[in-house]
A = this chain, B = another copy of it.
Amino acid sequence: MLSLLPSFLCLAVIALHPVAAIWPAPQSFTKGSQVLYLHQNIRITYNGAFVRWSSSREHGCLAEDLDTEYWMSQQVPYTYGYSPSSLTSKEVVQAAVSRTLAGIFNSKFVPWQMHKPGSKFEPDLAQGQKWLQTLQIVQTGEDQPSAFKPLAGEVDESYNLTVSAEGDVQLTAVSSIGVLRGLETFSQLFYQHSAGTFWYTPYAPVAIQDAPKFPHRGIMLDTARHFFPVDDILRTIDAMSWNKMNRLHVHVTDSQSWPLVIPALPEVSEKGAHHPSLTYSPQDVQRIQTYGAQRGVEVYFEIDMPGHIGVVSLSHPELIVAYNEQPYYWWCAQPPCGAFKLNNTGVDAFLKTLFDDLLPRLAPYSAYFHTGGDELNKNDSMLDEGIRSNDSAVLQPLLQKFIDTQHARVRAAGLTPMTWEEIPLDWNVTMDKDTVVQTWLGGESVKKVTELGHKVIDSNYNFWYLDCGRGQWLSFDNGAAYVIGYPFNDWCNPVKNWKLIYSHDPTAGLTEEQAKLVLGGEVAVWSETIDPANLDTLVWPRASAAGEVLWSGRIDPATGQNRSQMEATPRLNEFRERMVLNGVRASPIQMMFCTQGSPKECEYPA
């Protein structure tokens, strides 16, 4: 009997002080323990004007809930040079209010998974309801034209949120994107009562001041090794917005496939897509970008080059070397290899046509365009009849010229170029200092790039590659190769679990000056063994761990120390339930015994 007492005491404490699981953690957060109820007729204003909201599916949380007719009315016909002027601050906020309230009312989150079975954790309805009166949204600044396609730092995402004991909610932000972030936080204060149609927060009064640590908080999705239908991408954007993540980097082509329809070069996707049904039309691209912009998630694209582009050989064989050369490991990291010829006027003409078509369509909702540049194998140019060399002294000037030319085109379209780290670090290609460099090799890469004066997006594969650790996709024969391959782990084994992801700070080991150049980071979803069947379960909630590092910072301002797994775990458990209830198949991180009000029992040391 003695042994049972502590857990009962613990239960009582937990029931009195629920976890208030805002994810990612706000910079500053105080709360009380008063219960306030949310009614569908709460008075909502935006800069003083009354806001109507709709609980219908048209503003629902998930892409799959979108009413097609509504969606079509939001579509702008596809034209070259399409302007984003139709996206107004008011429309963005209005839609966000509807999504927020519909999310609270529709997700049916009665949080029994977070409390001991049989415990009384809900307010007593018989004691009457004190209702929230108003939700006053005040945007103190005017959105700049860049608000929906910002460069890192161009948009102020901060917000202040207060819920008074009297039931008045004040949400103040400089930008409409800040309003969106605040509304997301607001929604996470609420639960549904098991008795039915009552929704409440037990945390009043609330005062939150919040702003992101890093301006670039992203996911990279590889749509070339497996295709992801538009709905999967929209659902991913939804979940990103719940995590206050703001950059979706679409690695849209690679040597394996070219799903992107280019009207000026229709043959590239006709020959290069895995199947005619597995393509992104210009309308799809616009829909994805607009959907993101409406949720504060900037969608930008990467055409990886001059390596990782072998698929172009299927439509333009004269432009490519080493496509599907055997054995692949002489020529690239992965079949079917293939790189642009580095000194070929045909390549340049192809890219002019490609960029003239694509970039003006992307620019209305992107500030960036990623030109790739990882893993270019010098041997490829041995097969190039115009070069026949793998000597860096020969290749470097050609690559320099290639990058100069293509980046000039990117800039001419009003976009800022990005590359992978090998371009400056391995090839010593010089680029304008505003070029953003994405690191992935870990170690000293971030430091080296900042020493060159470039801005950095970090995707350290030892921490933030979500595809790792589930085994080889290569098949090994029964002979010597079998022995070499056994036990068939992949190159970046093990799986990066959420705690490992959470332990990574992209600015670790940097000087203050160097750290200023780190814009943020991206978790990477390379898709050798990921497709729509397992996308959600592998991305969520692991991406949430990176999302909190990037929004809240690795250091907890309350303690001055690294954020604690023990503090984060119950919050992530609760946030994961919210994601699942809103239609994203996020994986569990603990057994239900641990989530149900027993976090202490599931800590080490106990």
Contacts and interface: CB of A to CB of B under 8 A. Distances in A.
Interface of A: 1, 3-4, 6-7, 112-113, 117-118, 225-227, 255-257, 271-275, 313, 317, 322-329, 335-336, 383, 469-478, 481-482, 484-489, 493-495, 497-500, 503, 527-531, 533-534, 536-538, 561-562, 564-566, 568-569, 580, 585-594, 596, 598-599, 601-606
A5 to B, nearest CB: 10
A280 to B, nearest CB: 15
A531 B588 contact: yes
Contacts of A569: 475
A110 to B, nearest CB: 10
State the oligomeric state as a number of copies.
2
Given A256-B592, A335-B601, A335-B606, 14 more contacts: A3-B323, A3-B325, A4-B317, A117-B274, A324-B601, A473-B590, A474-B604, A477-B604, A478-B562, A484-B604, A487-B499, A529-B587, A530-B587, A534-B585
Contacts of A325: 3
B271 A593 contact: no
Contact of A328 (B117, B565, B580, B601): B601
Given A494-B493, A592-B225, A488 B499 contact: yes
A497 B489 contact: yes
A604 B476 contact: yes
Nearest to A499: B488
A335 to B, nearest CB: 4
Instruction: Report whether over half of chain A's contact residues are helix, strand or loop; otherwise say mixed.
Output: loop
Contacts of A477: 564-566, 603-605
A107 to B, nearest CB: 15
A559 to B, nearest CB: 9
Give the most central of A536, A562, A603: most B CB within 10 Å.
A603
A484 B565 CA distance: 14
A270 to B, nearest CB: 8
8 contacts: A3-B383, A4-B313, A118-B271, A225-B593, A336-B598, A473-B591, A476-B565, A533-B586
Contact of A596 (B1, B118, B274): B274
Contacts of A531: 587-588, 592
B587 A273 contact: no
Contacts of A533: 536-537, 580, 585-588
A475 B591 contact: no
Contacts of A475: 499, 565-566, 568-569, 599, 602-604
A537 B539 CA distance: 13
Contacts of A485: 499, 604
A545 to B, nearest CB: 11
